[in-house]
Amino acid sequence: MGLIVQKFGGSSVATTEKLKLVAEHIKKELDLNNQVVVVVSAQGKTTDKLIAEEKEITKNASPREHDVLVATGEQITIAKLSMVLQEQGIKAVSLTGWQIPIITSSNYSNSRIRYVHNETIREYLTAGNVVVVAGFQGIDETGNITTFGRGGSDTTAVALAASLAADRCDIFTDVDGVYSADPRIVEDTRKMNTVSYDEMLELSSMGAKVLHNRCVEIGKKYGVPIYVKSTFEKNSIGTLVTNTSNLEDLVINGVTKDDYISRITIVGLENKIGRTYELFKLLSKHSINVDVIVQSFGEHITKDIAFTVKMNDLNKTLQVLEENKKELNIKDILHCENLSKVSIIGVGIANKPGVAADMFEALYENNINMHMVTTSEIKISVLVNSNEADMAVKAIHNKFFK
């Protein structure tokens, strides 16, 4: 008898009809004599709706109450799916993150899993149940409900698979695997049969939301084979995320896009040792995640620094900077909203001259302006206006994969 963890995302559990389809996937594993733990997301756009309703009350909700609110979406799905299974004569029990419990750090909306107590799940499995678990949530050491960040149900699934030493973790979603770009943006993308944890981690971290990046980290650490497959396509083979990659010798593995990015420019920061440190120390003290950073040469008495933050951190960042403008000796603070980061990823980038030039040429040919550029051994990212981001992904993908 094997143990399989299956995860079904929001679009896979959106309606009662779809929950019945999910039950078929579960039944298939039970018929093979496997034990099944199922992790589910909130139905359809429920999480977005809850966040919109929160915004009707306040733009500044307490992080604790925000997590209490958004964690409710998954609770609805676990109850409904357990009922659907029970209606079909299948023994099933639902568990929230805190009933398991999954112990996490206390940073709301981005909490990290510290420990999974899997005893309760094991008892229910031994008693012949399908265990249906609410994704993306846990509880901190003082009993507060926490969530893992958008898309975090994947992380619940792989963490449970690791803790239970499951044979594999199947991530069922609305596409039939991992592609060289989002198949909803680019028509002729290439599906990968296998992808290594490292390659997948880069793709996810740079915006390929088909897998939450932290689930890939956990998968790698504990050697959990992760299959990404379609809920809706019969006999979907999907993509296996594992240690080895089966890719041809491609220059790049994929093109990704990350939306909701804003750029802040600090104009006239005193050009003195320690000033840049003070600036970023201040942001880190306020738990603001900074991504791309570009600093001017600093040949004068002042220098300019531009950096990006996620749009939902923009107001907080501007407020912190305004409050400390005098102390940091800053002349001006400018910002620009609605940007997207478009990236190419590939281990071959460092060794192949001309990759950056090809990427920039694709943008030039489509008249797309780059606001910032950042490169590393295995990726090149550019910031573009969000309304041109899909066009940028298509153009770059065409350049490398045609």
The residue to which tokens 């149900």 are assigned: 153
Order across the sheet with 113-116: list the strands: 113-116, 102-104, 137-140, 145-147
**Per-residue string for binding with ligand ASP, 36-75, x by CB under 6 A?**
-----xx----x-------------------------x--
Chain residues that interact with Mg ion, rule: CB under 5 A:
9, 151
269, 275 Cβ separation under 8 angstroms: yes
Out of Mg ion, ligand ADP, ligand ASP, none, what residue 42 binds, judged by CB under 5 to 8 A for its kind, is ligand ASP
CB of 47 to ligand ADP, least distance (A): 10
Which parts of 4-23 interact with ligand ASP (CB under 6 A)?
9-10
Out of ligand ADP, Mg ion, ligand ASP, none, what residue 136 binds, judged by CB under 5 to 8 A for its kind, is ligand ASP
Out of ligand ASP, ligand ADP, Mg ion, none, what residue 208 binds, judged by CB under 5 to 8 A for its kind, is ligand ADP
7, 37 Cβ separation under 8 angstroms: no
Task: Return the amino acid letter for 388.
Answer: E
The residue to which tokens 């963890």 are assigned: 5
The token pair that represents 282 in the structure block = 């201040």
- Nearer to Mg ion by Cβ, of 112 and 316: the residue is 112
Give the C-alpha distances (Å, rounded to integers) separating 342 from 205, 307, 380.
Answer: 12, 16, 8
| Maximum C-alpha span of the chain | 76
Which parts of 97-156 interact with ligand ASP (CB under 6 A)?
135-136, 150-153
Distance between alpha carbon 266 and the CA centroid of its chain, in Å? 29
343, 355 Cβ separation under 8 angstroms: no
Please identify, among the stretches 9-17, 26-34, 57-65, 76-84, the one whose residues bind ligand ADP according to the rule CB under 6 A.
9-17
Count CB neighbours of 356 within 10 A. 15
Using rule CB under 6 A, residue 207 touches ligand ASP: no
Residue nearest to ligand ADP (CB): 9
- Nearer to Mg ion by Cβ, of 219 and 346: the residue is 219
Give the C-alpha distances (Å, rounded to integers) separating 338 from 332, 335, 359.
Answer: 20, 10, 21
CB of 174 to ligand ADP, least distance (A): 5
3-state secondary structure of 18: helix
Using rule CB under 6 A, residue 335 touches ligand ASP: no
Using rule CB under 6 A, residue 173 touches ligand ADP: yes
- Nearer to ligand ASP by Cβ, of 152 and 207: the residue is 152
Please identify, among the stretches 61-69, 100-108, 174-182, 350-358, the one whose residues bind ligand ADP according to the rule CB under 6 A.
174-182
Report how far residue 387's alpha carbon sits from residue 154's, in angstroms, rounded to the nearest whole number. 28
Give the C-alpha distances (Å, rounded to integers) separating 140 from 54, 66, 106, 161, 368.
Answer: 22, 15, 5, 21, 45
- Nearer to ligand ADP by Cβ, of 134 and 330: the residue is 134
Give the C-alpha distances (Å, rounded to integers) separating 282 from 108, 263, 328.
Answer: 20, 17, 10
Using rule CB under 6 A, residue 97 touches ligand ADP: no
Task: Return the amino acid letter for 13.
Answer: V
Q: Residues touching ligand ASP: how many (CB under 6 A)?
A: 12
Using rule CB under 6 A, residue 346 touches ligand ASP: no
Contacts of 237 (CB under 8 A, 6+ apart): 176, 177, 193, 229
Which parts of 112-171 interact with ligand ADP (CB under 6 A)?
151
- Nearer to ligand ADP by Cβ, of 97 and 183: the residue is 183
Out of Mg ion, ligand ADP, ligand ASP, none, what residue 118 binds, judged by CB under 5 to 8 A for its kind, is none
H or E stretch covering 380: strand 379-385
**Per-residue string for binding with ligand ADP, 268-307, x by CB under 6 A?**
----------------------------------------
For residue 172, report the phi and psi dihedrals to the nearest 5 degrees. -90, 130
Tell me which residues touch ligand ADP (CB under 6 A).
9-12, 41, 151, 173-175, 178-179, 181-184, 203, 208-210, 254
| Binding interface with ligand ASP (CB under 6 A) | 9-10, 41-42, 47, 73, 135-136, 150-153
